[in-house]
Chains A and B, each alone.
Chain A
Amino acid sequence: MKKFTLLLVVTCLALLGMSALADMSTVQIATDTATLGRGADSMMTNCRSCHSLKYVRYRDLTSIGIPKPKIDEWRGSESVDNPMLAVLADKDALQSFGIVPPDLSLITKARDGGMNYLYAYLLGYHNTSNGSVDNLIYPGTKMPDALGISSATTAAQLVDIHGKARDVTSFLAWAADPHAKERIRMGYYVLAYLVLLTSLLYLVKRMVWARLSTSDDHLTSWKK
């Protein structure tokens, strides 16, 4: 059965490898207050005109340290308990784009490649030879170049836009999985506890089994 164990391990590793998409620019997101604050700001100014974030309420933004006055400014006359809806009505969006821009609450989970997809998509706009703008990741997308990377000319602008894309991606990653930080922190404690417990259980097992005399144990010859 040793070979079987090996097979199991190899299969699990192969599965993990399969799930990691290689050919997309990878983004290192951050979870600090400053990044999430800038990301939220960018979402409000660059994206919310078209996109909703319906599973996030204005109140939830306090949990990532956005100051209350800022939230009040964004929500206008909306209640803090309201979901963050798009400015553009679906009907109007349909008229302008022929499609309703998707809700972004789960967007970093809802595409192959996840966060990397989002990041690459936002930065994928470029000028085509016939003078129009297209996207490398999603050719023919109906969304305009929201961050303006296709019209950036200076190096400083490019750096700025890459930073914006990373901030928005970080913010939307939080929006899709708001408890991720807490989950991972808890995970370390849980694992530390389990490793300790399992080591103790192993010792208990050893002690209990030591009571069996092995001298007359012809059965051990069957064990490899």
Chain B
Amino acid sequence: MSGRIINWIDRRFPFTSFIRDELTGYPTPRNLSYWWNFGFLAGFVLVLQVATGIFLAMHYKADVAHAFDSIQHIMRDVNYGWLLRYMHATGASAFFFVIFIHMARTLYYGSYRAPRELLWWTGQGLLLMLMATAFMGYLLPWGQMSFWGATVITNLFRATPVFGEQVVIWLRGDYSVGDATLNRFYALHYLFPFLIIGAVVIHLVALHAVKSSNPSGIDLKAKDNIPFHPYFTSKDLFGLGVFLIFFCVVVFFVPDSLSEPANSIPANPLQTPNHIVPEWYFLPFYAILRSVPNMVGGVVAMGLSVMMFAFMPALDRSSIPGGARYRPIYRVLFYLFVIDMVVLGYVGYQPPAGTIVVIGQLATIGYFAYFVLIFGLSKVEERWLVKRGLPPDVQALINAEALAKSSRA
């Protein structure tokens, strides 16, 4: 009976073939390491955020007179409201944590290289949407940091040429952050996750067209690919278990460790906190913003710093496979970049004074230098490596790939 129903469906809709070709049978390189788990984890956190968010929305009130109180109502009176909210707040941080590792893996292994540019760029789009969603969500508790964070960031749009003033008012819906801002941020905070889901579908379509990259950096022969199920379902689920252990330690034991004390004080437009800081995942970019003495320059630098990743396919001109794995110079640059990000994050948290400013400026230069150096050095490094003689297995990889390419052409 069920077989006949499925037959009926399959003649009208590619049900069985879709599951076979794109899910269970989807050919996946067998040599993927655990660093390839993080895309799946990001998808999981997205679902978690939507699920908890919808229930929070049932009790939240987007009104400057009630927003803060309604959060306290959720935390105190709603059954397991505290659990929903702590999962949602921790989930936002977990989302960025997972995405940053996902991006670091892409950079390390050069997964952005041809033919995966569109995959990488859709990912870049997802990063921007995630940032926008998190930023708007942070206004909703209507605490001091919510209010002043939104005030400072919307104010940056004053840097828009000619229409600066109008753009800021247009964003806020008022002359200052207020009820109109809170309402529109709430509406958009509810909308964006669904746009993100749509963009994730596009990201996955791109992925399934070019298939997963792998640590070797070349396209593997068919026999080195294995079906996604049961191999990667089991591997991803184990990774999910490990992730959930860390996640639940934060949710149940230290849920406030990532929230700023000032956000437990209701928003007060008349009293500026002495130290306005964004959430940790924005700190490196915030540090870049503050490191440029001129406001317009700072805004441009910050925007550029987020967008720089999109240029990677063009900047990295090396044809050595495997990303940082077989490329010593690139590897050093990668680690310096990660350290630089950490330094920027630290600087972003500190009040901008004295040596902190200087360190921030140096780290900002370092940030952009990474991309410039990759552009300048990738070809030099390639020539040097080829002249020195590549390790036999790397040479074999390159030959194998060239062979595969010519036979395909």
Residues of A within 8 A of B (CB): 1, 3-4, 7-8, 11, 15-16, 18-19, 55, 60, 102, 105-106, 109-112, 114, 176-179, 183-184, 186-187, 190-191, 194-195, 197-198, 201-202, 204-205, 208-209, 212, 217, 219-223
- B49-86 interface bits toward A, Cβ cutoff 8 Å, 1 = contact, 0 = none: 00000000000000000000100100110000011001
- CB pair B238 A202 closer than 8 Å: yes
Q: How far is the CB of B277 from chain A (nearest CB, A)?
A: 12
- B236-258 interface bits toward A, Cβ cutoff 8 Å, 1 = contact, 0 = none: 01101110110011011101110
Residues of A within 8 A of B349 (CB): 18
| Nearest 10 Cβ contacts at the A-B interface | A187-B252, A198-B241, A110-B264, A109-B264, A205-B234, A201-B238, A219-B31, A106-B264, A208-B234, A205-B238
Residues of B within 8 A of A187 (CB): 248-249, 251-253
Given contacts A201-B238, A205-B234, contact A114 B82 (CB under 8 A): no
Distance in angstroms between the alpha carbons of A191 and B242 in the assembled complex: 11
- CB pair B261 A114 closer than 8 Å: yes
Q: Is the interface of B mostly helix, strand, loop or mixed?
A: helix
Distance in angstroms between the alpha carbons of A201 and B238 in the assembled complex: 5
Chain B residues bordering chain A, tally (CB within 8 A)? 51
Residues of B within 8 A of A19 (CB): 257
Residue of A nearest to B109 (CB): A1
Residue of A nearest to B223 (CB): A216
Given contacts A1-B108, A205-B238, A212-B231, contact A111 B257 (CB under 8 A): no
The 8 Å CB contact of B248, one of A1, A3, A114, A194, is A194
Residues of A within 8 A of B265 (CB): 102, 106, 110
Residues of B within 8 A of A212 (CB): 30, 226, 231
Residue B171 interfacial (CB < 8 Å):
no
- CB pair A186 B252 closer than 8 Å: yes
- CB pair B72 A55 closer than 8 Å: yes
Distance in angstroms between the alpha carbons of A183 and B33 in the assembled complex: 35
Distance in angstroms between the alpha carbons of A114 and B104 in the assembled complex: 35
13 A-B contacts (beta carbon < 8 Å): A1-B35, A7-B335, A102-B265, A110-B265, A179-B82, A183-B252, A183-B255, A186-B252, A201-B240, A205-B235, A209-B231, A219-B220, A223-B33
Residue of A nearest to B241 (CB): A198
The total of interchain contacts (Cβ-Cβ below 8 angstroms) comes to 113
The 8 Å CB contact of B245, one of A55, A177, A198, is A198
Other A-B pairs, 6, CB within 8 Å; known A202-B241, A222-B216: A55-B69, A105-B72, A110-B265, A183-B82, A183-B83, A208-B234
Residue of A nearest to B237 (CB): A201
Residues of A within 8 A of B241 (CB): 194, 197-198, 201-202
Residue B21 interfacial (CB < 8 Å):
no
Given contacts A212-B30, A221-B393, contact A191 B238 (CB under 8 A): no
- B302-332 interface bits toward A, Cβ cutoff 8 Å, 1 = contact, 0 = none: 0000000000000000000000000000000
Distance in angstroms between the alpha carbons of A161 and B234 in the assembled complex: 58
Distance in angstroms between the alpha carbons of A95 and B33 in the assembled complex: 67
Given contacts A191-B252, A208-B234, A212-B231, contact A4 B338 (CB under 8 A): yes
Residue B280 interfacial (CB < 8 Å):
yes
Residues of B within 8 A of A102 (CB): 265
Distance in angstroms between the alpha carbons of A209 and B101 in the assembled complex: 25
Residue of B nearest to A56 (CB): B76
- CB pair A4 B280 closer than 8 Å: no
Residues of B within 8 A of A4 (CB): 104, 108, 335, 338
The 8 Å CB contact of B30, one of A55, A179, A204, A219, is A219
- CB pair A190 B248 closer than 8 Å: yes
Distance in angstroms between the alpha carbons of A30 and B99 in the assembled complex: 39
- CB pair A194 B245 closer than 8 Å: yes
Residues of B within 8 A of A209 (CB): 231, 234-235
- CB pair B237 A112 closer than 8 Å: no
- CB pair B76 A178 closer than 8 Å: yes
Distance in angstroms between the alpha carbons of A178 and B76 in the assembled complex: 7
Distance in angstroms between the alpha carbons of A23 and B220 in the assembled complex: 57
The 8 Å CB contact of B249, one of A60, A191, A202, A223, is A191
Q: How far is the CB of A178 from chain B (nearest CB, A)?
A: 6
Residues of A within 8 A of B101 (CB): 8
Residue B6 interfacial (CB < 8 Å):
no
Distance in angstroms between the alpha carbons of A177 and B257 in the assembled complex: 14
- B1-37 interface bits toward A, Cβ cutoff 8 Å, 1 = contact, 0 = none: 0000000000000000000000000000011010100
